[in-house]
Amino acid sequence: MTDYLLLRNARVGGALRHIHCRDGVILAIDTDDSREVPESAVVLDLAGRVVLPPFVNGHAHLDKTFWSMPWQKHLPGTSIRQCVDRERSIRAAMTEPQWPRALALAQRMVAAGVGVIRSHVDVDTLVGVTGVEALVAVRERLAGLVDMQLVAFPQSGILADRGVAELLDEALGGGVDVIGGLDPLGIDGNVEAHLDVVFGLAGKHGAPVDIHLHDTGPEGLDEIRQICDRTIALGMQDAVTISHAYALGAEHLDAVRPVIDRLAEAGVSIMTDGPVGMTPPVRLLHEAGVVVLSGSDGIRDAWSPYGVPQMGPIATQLAYQSKMYDDDDFELVADVVTIHGSRVVGIAGHGLEPGCRADLNVLDATAVAEVVAEAISPSLVLRGGRRVQAAVDPWPAITGLADVRLAQA
Ligand SMILES: [Zn+2]
């Protein structure tokens, strides 16, 4: 283990700094280079490269992925309900264990500089809590490399799939950290009854809440209001997230603004990955005091053939769909995919401050804005002051095959 690491000329925010790390913790971030370091110190001159805290993937579905399998032809669905049913039939036909796929994808995320993952895990009457058991095992395998939080996710509904409420309860007692929900109106047709179960289990287990909400129209906005009302009534400020919240991006701003004010009052955070035409107004939410985080959502699964483990492309997508073009906005999005996410997930000691863990991403960029505009991934990933090697090197040395050397610019 490296006892002392000095990163000289690191770009932190807009300025050059010298980051001193000792025993896996950030000791100091200095403006000058006068601090004495032990002879044994490892010193890297970053020559102005950007340093960021680890990326936070605040919304993944590791249990669903086909990652590491041969390519699966995608069968599109036309409604959430149809996609749910199609995924159930695909899952019923799969005989291989799911944990190797989840582990392979999570490892790629770690290699891409992701330090925190909040993964939803399906809980329904078909799979029971087998996905939870698989993801708990993956989390144990990756302890120390990534902080993983699991959400019990009723993908088939709660009222629409009798028995799910009891399974969610079991999942929360079996290693899951957060209680999830799904379109109380669109999937279950009864907002009150759906939220009764979700917030009831949150109270019983002292668990935060993270609800998928794809419902749009005035009904979607009303569901957000109802979630805020419950949050305030139960004193759960800062412990509730709404994922997607398409209604905030799809409806007219005149109708959305009062809902944003209510979200701020309730301390409810919003997760978005920048969907076309339905991206919530990130800048407005931030200025109102609502914490916005982001994530990959599903990667290569029955819902979508798309998705990558790197957070750079997700940041770019979010900024582009938000029609952002200036550096202040790009820097906001960089916060969304790093420190804002860690605030919501509740991971302490995660940031570019003395006393935080030396979990750092070094990026070949001259400004934070460039990272977002160009979807740049880290060239060096440090965890506790140690280098994380890429999980996969697909082309190790090939005997007899010459390299082409590209001229240096
Ligand atoms: Zn999701």
DSSP state of 406: P
The CA 315 to ligand 1 mean position distance, Å, reads 17
On the question of pLDDT at 391 being above 80, the answer is no
Residue 63 Cα, ligand 1 centroid: separation in angstroms? 11
What's the pLDDT band for 409 if we cut at 50, 70, 90?
A: low
Record the pTM.
Answer: 0.94
Q: Give the pLDDT confidence of 10-30 residue by residue, as tens digits.
A: 999 889 999 999 999 999 999
How far is ligand 1, taken at its centre, from the CA of residue 272, in Å?
Answer: 10
pLDDT tens string 172-193: 999 999 999 999 999 999 999 9
What pLDDT, on the 0 to 100 scale, is given for residue 98? Answer: 85
Q: What angle do CA 324, 326, 330 make, to 5 degrees?
A: 70
Kindly give the distance from the C-alpha atom of residue 16 to the centroid of ligand 1, in angstroms, as a whole number: 38
In the chain, pLDDT over 70 holds for what percent of residues?
97
Give the distance (Å) from ligand 1 centre to CA of residue 380: 29
In this structure, the strands spanning 380-383 and 386-387 are antiparallel
- Report CA(81)–ligand 1 centroid distance (Å): 14
Which amino acid is present at 378?
P
Q: How confident is the model at residue 393 (pLDDT cuts 50, 70, 90)?
A: low
Question: What φ, ψ does residue 338 adopt, rounded to 5°?
Answer: -130, -90
CA of 120 to the centre of ligand 1 (A): 7
Give distance in angstroms: CA of 53 to centre of ligand 1: 24
CA of 271 to the centre of ligand 1 (A): 10
Residue 88 binned pLDDT confidence (cut-offs 50, 70, 90) = confident
Give per-residue pLDDT as tens, 299-320. 999 999 999 999 999 999 999 9
CA atoms within 13 A on the CB side of 190: 10
Count CB-CB contacts under 10 A for residue 254: 7
pLDDT band at 400; cut points 50, 70, 90: confident
Between CA 269 and CA 238 the distance in angstroms is 7
29 Cα: distance to centroid of ligand 1 (angstroms): 37
pLDDT of 350: 83
Distance 302 CA to ligand 1 centre (A): 12
Give the C-alpha separation, 194 to 188, whole Å: 7
Of the pLDDT bands very low, low, confident and very high (cuts 50, 70, 90), residue 93 is confident
3-state secondary structure of 210: strand
Pick the more confident residue, 77 or 296.
296
- At 219, the pLDDT band (50, 70, 90 cuts) reads very high
Going from the Cα of 117 to the center of ligand 1, the distance in angstroms, rounded, reads 13
Q: Is the C-alpha dihedral spanning 156, 347, 8, 337 positive or negative?
A: positive
Q: What's the mean pLDDT when you consider all of the chain?
A: 93
